[in-house]
Structure 1
Amino acid sequence: MLDLGVMLQELAQKQARLLASYCINAQPGESILIQGSTVGLPVLEALHKEILLRGARPILKLEFPYQTAEFVNLASDEVLASLAPGVMEEIHGIAGSIRVETPMAPKQGARPERMQRWSQTLHPMAEVRRQRKWCLTQYPTEYAAEAAGMGFEDYQRFVMQAMFLDHDDPVAKWGEVRERQARLIERLAQASEIRILSENTDLILNVKGRTWANSDGKRNMPSGEVFTGPIETSASGHIFYDLPTLYQGREVQGIHLTFKDGQVVDAHAEVGNDVLQAALNTDQGARYLGEIGIGTNYGIQVPSKNILFDEKIGGTVHLAVGSSYPETGGLNKSTIHWDMICDLRTGGEILLDGEVFQRDGVFV
């Protein structure tokens, strides 16, 4: 096990090694896109080196803090509606990509309606990237620690434990996750109807014929979930997402959604309602579900206002409005994909065709 006093630089090197070898599996001659803020420079530098050591070609794209918000707010309508020349050609030429998130305190956030327009402009590029190898990860920041209610040193420990970087062989630990989730998928694959119940939630979905994916850390690091795309017109009922989150730089809390024939027909957020409404109005597919995911990572138990971590919490379920993952059989198309998280650890249940699959966050 790692000494808790190991410097952040050493942890960045371990994270970079795991990303380059296990998550993205960079091969000689491949071009690998690396994106992230200068705030995460230690892990970006380490990633650049690891990609080179594997004989691949790193393409490093650095951003300064709040760059996206500044661009979206100040760009002309013409610039906001078009990609720079050569961007699509470069994306078509990569074999894979790694995105390193570095959460920062909300400052001058991008205006929601303009952010959605920019998301629509980026959509063709995002679609190409999704067809390649890709991984999303996070580097610890002071703000992320504060949002999670932890000291910075404790938060570093939290992040590294979530990625199994405190173990001598993180890859072996992710192999254990894969095997455990495969057993859950065996049962889920037999189900047609999923019902989610809690004090403020009663939602029914149909997943008959859809494929469940085993998220074992190769696309999200950390990970720990199983997910699929529900039948697009099947969602019926209401759900309350009680875990707060940050979406496009804005805090959103207490989301209430009501579904009929698969579509969101009523929506309200107790905090950040303008962000929610702008997202749901992005396009037609934004009001339909593209994913249902069940968190299995019981090593993550404390909500941190970070979707990458919180959607993996063992005992939670998350449903994303917007685009589906084609490999699950999902058909919904949208320029957004927003995971919203419902905590079932106190009085919640997941039923498969009427049979209890999970109660109070524990698989039965």
Structure 2
Amino acid sequence: MDPRVREHAETIVDHSVDLQPGDDLVVLLPAEAEDLAVAVHELAGDRGANPVYLNNSDRAERAFLRARDDEFETPDHELALYENADAVVIARGGANATEKADIDPATTAAHNRATRPVQRERLSKRWCLTQYPTAGHAQLAGMSTEAYENFVYDAVSLDWEAQGEFQEQMVDVVDDADEIRIRSGEGTDVTMSVAGNTAVNDTGEKNLPGGEVFTAPVRDSVEGEVHFDMPLYRQGREIEDVRVRFEAGRVESYSAARNEAVLDGVFDTDESARYLGELGIGMNRAIDRFTYNMLFDEKMGDTVHMAVGSAYPECVGEGNEVNESAEHVDMIVDMSEASTIEVDGEVVQRDGTFVFEDGA
């Protein structure tokens, strides 16, 4: 076994989910990540925890979703598993990143609605989502398998204490803010209130790698247009050149140059899928290339991302509404050129560089 796999598992177990004696742990990994599963199980035994291992198979999920021709029901047995869990570890890393590309977006939306209680329960636990490097994801990133392995392991093994100190500077700015304005090129000019809400310093706990500061906009405050000029993969399809117009917080119009039907399914999932649940500011300078993997791409230090759908409750202050949805879809704006982030009228990032960084 590559020694970096065990190092990855140690970061997950000790840093991300803080596994304790007696914890009931759910391990949800694809078959390709068996080495990581073995390392996590070994550490769980050493820590006195109780793991349950589930094979997260895109092929199996595709077969189910394509065969089912009626409404879905909430899987109570799966819900019970997470109700009784203390911690959850999930890894991406299937053999084929486009395995689910031929599932009807409306089917995916219906399934997401039915499994929303499961998702909500899982997110209430100590959880970590990470990546296992596979040839399929290396190919998606346009990298050799070896280069992609190096990229992933370098990204997850940062000095998270030092990274957290760097990001805390932005947390202080956002926590004191009333309004944030984001401008980029000719296609993005959007404002939103974050008054009363809380910024979270992501240092590799729930997402590994971490490397962002994120908060929730006040639900009905988002106004303007956004050009999400970096592509994303959703349901095994590449969505390109997304443009969205917000009025009173709600997505009132949208378009995409490719696979717009996937967006149709997202926005039709439920009413709250047409509202922003998250604003994230990428701050991880160790992630320096785009890989078609949102777990990494949204952390890049010259990007911002916005997620339509559910908000993280820990970001929403008392008296503000938590946007609850069966969807949470992140989309990215490149902030490296002709771009600013303004907080209460003051520029805090210009062309991807923060005011507290060297060279600002």
| 1:51 partnered with 2:44 | yes
Residue in 2 that maps onto 1:64: 57
Q: CA deviation at 1:82?
A: 3.5
Residue in 2 that maps onto 1:5: none
Aligned-partner Cα distance in 2 for 1:91–1:143: 29
Q: Percent identity?
A: 34
Please point out which of 81, 100, 109 is paired with 2:91. Answer: 100
> Which structure 2 segments of 5+ residues have no match?
356-360
Pair 82,128 (structure 1): closer, same or farther in 2 beyond 3 Å? closer
- The alignment's TM-score, normalised by the length of structure 1, stands at 0.93
Secondary structure in structure 2 of the residue aligned to 1:299: coil
Residue in 2 that maps onto 1:181: 167
Secondary structure in structure 2 of the residue aligned to 1:77: coil
Please point out which of 217, 221, 225 is paired with 1:238. Answer: 225
Deviations 1:226-245 (Å, cap 9, x if unpaired)? 01100101111100111111
Q: CA deviation at 1:9?
A: 2.6
Q: CA deviation at 1:147?
A: 1.7
Secondary structure in structure 1 of the residue aligned to 2:53: strand
Q: CA deviation at 1:21?
A: 1.0
> Which structure 1 segments of 5+ residues have no match?
1-7, 165-169
Q: Which range is displaced more, 238-247 or 182-191?
A: 182-191
| 1:341 partnered with 2:332 | yes
Instruction: Tell me the amino acid that sits aligned with residue 334 of structure 1.
Output: S
Deviations 1:125-150 (Å, cap 9, x if unpaired)? 11111111001000011121122121
Aligned-partner Cα distance in 1 for 2:211–2:59: 29
Q: CA deviation at 1:108?
A: 4.9
Equivalent residues in 2 for 1:201-220, closer than 5 Å: 201-220=188-207
Aligned-partner Cα distance in 2 for 1:107–1:27: 36
Q: Which range is displaced more, 17-26 or 288-297?
A: 17-26
Deviations 1:328-362 (Å, cap 9, x if unpaired)? 11611101011111110111110111111101100
Aligned-partner Cα distance in 1 for 2:194–2:97: 38
Aligned-partner Cα distance in 2 for 1:105–1:260: 34
Deviations 1:259-290 (Å, cap 9, x if unpaired)? 00000000111111000111011001000000
Equivalent residues in 2 for 1:254-293, closer than 5 Å: 254-293=241-280
Aligned-partner Cα distance in 1 for 2:300–2:67: 37
Q: CA deviation at 1:48?
A: 1.4
Please point out which of 68, 71, 77 is paired with 2:70. Answer: 77
Secondary structure in structure 1 of the residue aligned to 2:256: strand
Residue in 2 that maps onto 1:167: none
Deviations 1:43-98 (Å, cap 9, x if unpaired)? 112111111111000110013342222211112425x3241x52222211100101
| 1:111 partnered with 2:109 | no
Aligned-partner Cα distance in 2 for 1:163–1:10: 14
Residue in 1 that maps onto 2:348: 357
Q: Which range is displaced more, 12-21 or 85-94?
A: 85-94
Aligned-partner Cα distance in 2 for 1:127–1:65: 21
Instruction: Tell me the amino acid that sits aligned with residue 160 of structure 2.
Output: W
Aligned-partner Cα distance in 2 for 1:224–1:32: 25
Deviations 1:165-211 (Å, cap 9, x if unpaired)? xxxxx5xx101111111121112222211111111111111111110
Aligned-partner Cα distance in 1 for 2:68–2:6: 36
Please point out which of 9, 24, 28 is paired with 1:31. Answer: 24
| 1:124 partnered with 2:110 | no
Residue in 2 that maps onto 1:145: 138
Instruction: Tell me the amino acid that sits aligned with residue 234 of structure 1.
Output: S
Residue in 1 that maps onto 2:2: 9
| 1:193 partnered with 2:185 | no
Q: Which range is displaced more, 283-292 or 57-66?
A: 57-66
Instruction: Tell me the amino acid that sits aligned with residue 354 of structure 2.
Output: F
Secondary structure in structure 1 of the residue aligned to 2:241: strand
Pair 189,108 (structure 1): closer, same or farther in 2 beyond 3 Å? closer
Aligned-partner Cα distance in 2 for 1:350–1:82: 41
Pair 29,271 (structure 1): closer, same or farther in 2 beyond 3 Å? same
Secondary structure in structure 2 of the residue aligned to 1:340: strand
Secondary structure in structure 1 of the residue aligned to 2:2: helix
Aligned-partner Cα distance in 2 for 1:272–1:51: 42
Instruction: Tell me the amino acid that sits aligned with residue 144 of structure 1.
Output: H
Consecutive aligned runs of 4 or more in structure 1 exceeding 6 Å deviation: none
Aligned-partner Cα distance in 1 for 2:322–2:91: 28
Secondary structure in structure 2 of the residue aligned to 1:204: strand
Instruction: Tell me the amino acid that sits aligned with residue 179 of structure 1.
Output: E
On the 8 A contact 1:39/1:65 being kept in 2, the answer is: no
